Structure 1
Amino acid sequence: MSKLLLFHSTPKIIPRTVTSVLSRPLPIPSFPKTHSRVSLSPSISSSTLRTHFQWQNFSFSCSFSTQAFDDSSSSTETQKVEEEKIGSQSGEKSEAKEYPSGEVEYEKISGWKSFVVKLKMLIAFPWERVRKGSVLTMKLRGQISDQLKSRFSSGISLPQICENFVKAAYDPRISGVYLHIEPLNCGWGKVEEIRRHILNFKKSGKFIIAYIPACGEKEYYLACACEEIYAPPSAYFSLYGLTVQASFLGGVLEKIGIEPQVQRIGKYKSAGDQLTRKTMSEENCEMLTSLLDNIYGNWLDVVSASKGKKREDVENFINEGVYKVEKLKEECLITNIHYDDEVISILKERLGVPKDKNLLAVDYRKYSKVRKWTLGLAGGRDLIAVIRASGSISRVRSPLSSPSSGIIAEQIIEKIRSVR
């Protein structure tokens, strides 16, 4: 079930919504002790919005520009040329190209390479040593960063999560993974990447168990990739479908006498609708509905395939409303209802650990210090450089900006040149 939520309430105006440019330097006014007359006279032109402020013996003007897009006639000509090329090539038969599927084939380390790996483990640094038969424990919650986290920073990052799954699959000291999944604050792209590495880890034959104290669509999407799913009796499930929200400032700006002028290229360009419209356009509604249907349809296909159910049955079950964890167990969507300590007892019994002994476990942060070289996964001579960048793009770094604030053009260019 996917739906759109439209809010017509008056939102707060962000100061960055409208930019002001002073037409000339402002002299410092000398305000009299008596009450001064202030007059506000807005006049809207075709390109900018000018507002004149007048005090006694003092005046200045502000120019507000809300042009969001730069329209050009060359774009329509380019579009026509591309359509003609597509039409001319429609009758021709193109050869089918084989693209990499991204699937990973697990090959167990054996022979001479296995002896070398064991030797590297013996001479490894103390912080890289892990006891044999250990269980890798990972907690996924909150925001997941695109950038690698340092040893002094908190939080988790996508590269470290994926790398730990790869290392644990080949590490003979790791017996399995115990995955805690709590409410996530990240996009579906990161969730899909983590799920793909979970499936690749399962090819090693090692177990992976999920524990979900609170669960939504993203959390269950990851959990259903694991072999077993456990939840406490107090678990909260919110499997209600997907929604999207949108707010519009057209009515607010109209009340204060501001008329934004936005130029768009194509009817599906909806970035300027937030300033000009009071409700959602039909094209924007069509686009968001298609996006929600695609994500929700993929979610239903993946969940139904992993649990061996029909898509219609899963969809009807979600539409009924999932509130109690017992209902999920009845439908075999989770393995059983247990607390965390009970799941640990199950793991100890599976690994043959006595009840009075602690489970051998290695934390996510400690295991991140294990190098790929120690496990024989350092790779060959040919390397692929991966440059990760996220955030807003700026030409130069501001003196007050932090090291991880956005993309600096000068640094990215220098980084690309250095990896050539």
Structure 2
Amino acid sequence: MNFIKNIASSTVGSIIGLLVAGTILIFIFVGALVGGIVGAITELEEAETEVYSGDANVLVMNLDANIVERGGVEPFALDFASLTPSPQMGLDQILDGLNRAAEDDKIKGIYLNISGVAAAPSTLEDIRDGIDAFRESGKWVVAWSETMSQGGYYLNSVADEVYLHPAGGMSLLGLRSQSMFYPGLMEKLGVDVTVLRGPNNKYKSAVEPLLRRNFSEANKEQLGALLGEFWTTISSDIAESRNIPVAQVDAVADNILVRLPADAVNQGLIDGMLYQDELDDLLESRLDSLELETISFSEYTLPETMFGLDMSEESMTELIVTLTDEGEDSDASDDESSPLGGEIAVVYAVGAIESGEGDATTIGSVTTAEALRKARLASDVKAVVLRVNSPGGSALASDVIWRETMLLKEAGKTLVVSMGDLAASGGYYISCAADRIFANPTTITGSIGVFGVITNVGGMYEKHLGVAFDEIATHSHAGKPDGVFSMSEFEIEAYNETISDIYYSFTSKVAEGRGMNAEQVEEVARGRVWSGNDALDIGLVDEIGNLETALNYTKTLIESPDAETVFLPEIGDPFEMLIEDLTGVKSSFDALALLGEDNSTFLEILSVKRMLESNDIYQTRLPFMLHFND
């Protein structure tokens, strides 16, 4: 099987290689570039760092940066189409910036200039709540844009006043899910697939595109419920902010009632139509006698976004000392029980789950287990908030992380889980032992099930390349599955027994963690995905709330309202990440932009390649990936 697996992996790798071949020249100037950056930063010892000076009174927020879960993990991506940095901003940085602005006496209001934003509903919820909290602090929010996508309007609608350009437009049409199915293609190629699924895992639909030509009834049921719950949240939030009935929002979507900006005014979705100069006059009028001074949100949050570092003089001096090797070696103790600097440790688990160390886009079992272990052994940490944003992945890697959550609890420390956009399958596996689980209304969770897929390419090689296969083995089942031809019924039965064992182990852990019996778990398992709201109703989560809600709950639980928080895993050295961005995987993402593809496409190709290269046949993974086009 390794031979065929390597062929398949190499094929995917070759595709990626062709896409990124042009990036090889980057190696030529990396040394000079890094040297120049180090030199420039060294000059900061003699020159004052110019960060936000505090003169502006209106924040301009457009959210045109790529939004990731945790800021500072990947400082920026290099856009090879324009040879300019493509900014990235963490959800945590956005919310921290909004909180800081609410307490900043010089900032009087926010001007939302959001045309569109590419993010999942749960992330949009968090940002919208953050803007609303700013507004509730007694400050004003005005939204204006030339055009507004559905996601852009959802965020803009929270403002006190919403305006469109007179010649602009907006979209509010509802939600749709569309998938491609591949049996016809596989028949033409001569490829067949061996599919393994946990017992009665009828909702575990990851394998459907390989077996069917349309959605199964079970998949229609879960996707319909999921989209319905998403739309309920979106439409009710819009209706509440705009003081109109939810039925009116539905009517707009059903009948395409907004075709011109004037239609949006008539439907109560916006307050009027303004040109840019008229908007400036409106903002000026909001400032009483002050002169309008704007600052972009990205510039205002520079202390939070510049490599995720504090840009204060003290912190920059420490960075310079590190980069120029002027400091002495640290004498820090190697004692694993050394304090981490806070009573609460927030451990981020973001991306697909895989064995090993992982990277900025995946959850490595080694790295995440080590972070949990550090928190468990640290003398000052009383509780851990595990922030999960994952579609799942390797069943083995999920179990390794789950074990560390159990050891944490056995050590007498509190474990709270905060779910982001996704905490499904393996993502739920690593969450289920928590003392309390928080999720957003539109979090995608559940998917308690297991599947395995083995692609058999022998027929393709015979049919199209004239390649023949023969073998000699000491035993009937040696080397199976091999990825060449399908397994026998006996072999499939044997592997299905393993799949069933993983499934029952998964459900028993859920039962133990959630205080449910086997029958109750089975009723909500079988691979079905649930929204956060539905998961609350069926007992898979305990409370609706975001990361801030989870942190506040944890502070109350440990009776320490002013508890300091530390974040794990630690963010790597920013300049090491910069070099990786320029020479490694991240550069490859942007090469796809030259072909008109976005980064998520490459991430999925890379995820397939990693699965092929791994020995993890068994996957506790979300049965689909939802792309929210904006």
Normalized against structure 2, the TM-score is what? Answer: 0.42
Aligned position for 1:21: 2
Is 1:343 paired with 2:282? no
Which residue of the partner structure matches residue 246 of structure 2? 311
Give the one of 297, 302, 307 matched to 2:232. Answer: 297
3-state SS of paired residue (1:178): strand
Pair 140,258 (structure 1): closer, same or farther in 2 beyond 3 Å? same
What is the rounded CA distance, in whole Å, between the counterparts of 2:99 and 2:4 in structure 1? 59
Deviation digits for residues 37-86 of structure 1, max 9, x if unmatched?
A: xxxxxxxxxxxxxxxxxxxxxxxxxxxxxxxxxxxxxxxxxxxxxxxxxx
Deviation digits for residues 11-40 of structure 1, max 9, x if unmatched?
xxxxxxxxx6327999xxxxxxxxxxxxxx
1:332 Cα deviation after fit: 2.2
What one-letter code is carried by the residue in structure 1 that aligns with 2:249? V
Letter in 2 for 1:281: S
Q: Residue 22 of structure 1 aligns to a residue in which SS?
A: helix
Residue 224 (structure 1) shift: 1.4
Cα displacement (A) at 1:254 = 2.1
CA deviations over 1:212-263 (Å, ceiling 9, x no partner)? 3322322221111111111112323221111111111112212333321212
Flag structure 2 segments of 5+ consecutive residues without an equivalent.
8-47, 77-86, 305-309, 313-340, 379-630
Q: Select the structure of larger CA radius of gyration.
A: 1
Which residue in 2 is equivalent to 1:329? 265
Q: Distance in 2 between matches of 1:170 and 1:219?
A: 25
Q: Out of 346, 349, 352, which is 1:386 matched to?
A: 346
Q: Deviations over 1:74-116 (max 9, x none)?
A: xxxxxxxxxxxxxxxxxxxxxxxxxxxxxxxxxxxxxxxxxxx
Structure 1 unaligned blocks of 5 or more = 1-19, 27-123, 375-380
1:129 aligns with 2:65: no
| 1:161 counterpart letter in structure 2 | I
Do the aligned partners of 2:350 and 2:363 also contact (CA within 8 Å) in 1? yes
What secondary structure is seen at the aligned counterpart in 2 of 1:303?
helix
User: Which residue among 373, 389, 393 is the counterpart of 1:417?
Assistant: 373
Equivalent in 223, 226, 235 of residue 156 of structure 2:
223
Letter of the aligned partner of 1:137 in structure 2? V
CA contact (8 A) 1:142 1:183 kept: no
Read off the aligned partner of 1:331 and give its amino acid letter: Q
Alignment of 1:36-55 (within 5 A): none
CA contact (8 A) 2:144 2:162 kept: yes
Contact 1:249 1:274 in 2 (8 A): yes
Whole-angstrom CA distance in 1 between matches of 2:186 and 2:50: 62
CA-CA distance at 1:187 after TM superposition: 0.4
For the residue of structure 1 that corresponds to 2:112, the secondary structure is strand
**Paired amino acid for 1:278:** R
CA distance in 1, matches of 2:239, 2:209: 38
SS at match of 1:248: coil
- Residues 250 and 275 of structure 1 are in contact (CA less than 8 Å); yes or no, is this contact kept in structure 2? yes
Question: AA paired with 2:370?
Answer: E
Which residue of the partner structure matches residue 288 of structure 1?
Answer: 223
Cα deviation for residue 203 of structure 1 reads 1.6
- Greater than 6 Å deviation, 4+ residue runs: 23-26, 371-374
- Note the alpha carbon deviations across 1:371-416, whole angstroms, 9 max, x for none: 8999xxxxxx964322333223333358xxxx63423333223333
Name the CA distance, whole Å, in 2 between partners of 1:408 and 1:237. 41
- Note the C-alpha offset of 1:205: 0.5
1:260 aligns with 2:241: no
Q: Is the 8 A contact 2:173 2:252 kept in 1?
A: no
Alignment match of 1:404 (pick from 360, 363, 367) = 360
What corresponds to 1:367 in structure 2?
Answer: 300
Residue 195 (1) aligns with residue 155 (2) = no
Q: What secondary structure does 1:181 align onto?
A: coil
Against the structure 1 CA distance between its residues 152 and 339, is the aligned structure 2 distance closer, same or farther, given a 3 Å change threshold?
farther
8 Å CA contact 2:74, 2:88 repeated in 1: no
Q: Is the 8 A contact 1:249 1:275 kept in 2?
A: yes
How much has 1:158 moved relative to structure 2?
1.0
Alpha-carbon distance change, 283 to 195 in structure 1, aligned in 2, over 3 angstroms:
same
**Mapped pair 1:143 → 2:103:** no
In structure 1, C-alpha distance between the alignment counterparts of 2:5 and 2:136, rounded to whole Å: 68
Using a 3 Å threshold, how does the CA distance of structure 1 residues 125 and 252 change in structure 2: closer, same or farther? closer
Distance 1:300 1:25 in 2: 48
2:19 counterpart residue number: none
- C-alpha RMSD of the superposition: 3.0
Which amino acid in the other structure matches residue 212 of structure 1?
Answer: S
Rounded Cα–Cα distance in structure 1 between residues aligned with 2:160 and 2:344: 33
Percent of pairs with identical residues:
27
Task: Please give the alpha-carbon distance, in whole angstroms, between the structure 1 residues aligned to 2:49 and 2:5.
Answer: 64
Shift in Å, 1:181: 0.8
Contact 1:142/1:182 (8 A) holds in 2: no
